[in-house]
Amino acid sequence: MTALAARSTTTPAGSCPHLNTQCVEQGPHDEHWGPDNEVAAIRPDEAIQSLASARLYSYAGTDFAAPRLSVGISGFDGDLTLAEVDQLAAGLRDFANRLQIQAAHLAAAQRLHEVNR
């Protein structure tokens, strides 16, 4: 097994088991968040946030809710250069690929949520 493969299959000690082990929060917490999946802003110097983001989320407080995918899509209105179009297309492709992975984790997390109710 390569070092990279070993790292990707090893769960760090003390890490959170929620969200199909995708939770990145450390220490005691009621809000579980997965890693961020983002489409970077086309012009970061003009933007206050990324174009799109998606993160797995669940709240484990008093009202334990089923896991969801928290999604934000910001409005963008502008004329793009060819380089910016290429950047946007690549960003959206990567975002969509990661979205499918997040959907698989969400499905697994929701099944575990139903089992543990």
Q: What is the binding site for Zn ion (CB under 5 A)?
A: 16, 18, 23, 25, 32
- In whole angstroms, the minimum distance from the beta carbon of 24 to Zn ion comes to 8
Q: Which is nearer to Zn ion, 32 or 105 (CB)?
A: 32
Min dist. Cβ of residue 20 to Zn ion (A): 11
Give me the least distance between CB of 60 and Zn ion, in Å please.
7
Q: How far apart (Å, rounded) are the C-alpha atoms in residues 30 and 106? A: 18
Q: Nearer to Zn ion by C-beta: 16 or 42?
A: 16
| HEC secondary structure over the chain | CCHHHHHHHCCCCCCCCHHHHCCCCCCCCCEEECCCEEECCCCCCCCCCCCEEEEEEEECCCCCCCCEEEEEECCCCCCCCHHHHHHHHHHHHHHHHHHHHHHHHHHHHHHHHHHCC
Cβ closest to Zn ion, residue 25 vs residue 94: 25
Quote the least distance from Cβ 26 to Zn ion, whole Å: 9
Nearer to Zn ion by Cβ, of 37 and 95: the residue is 37
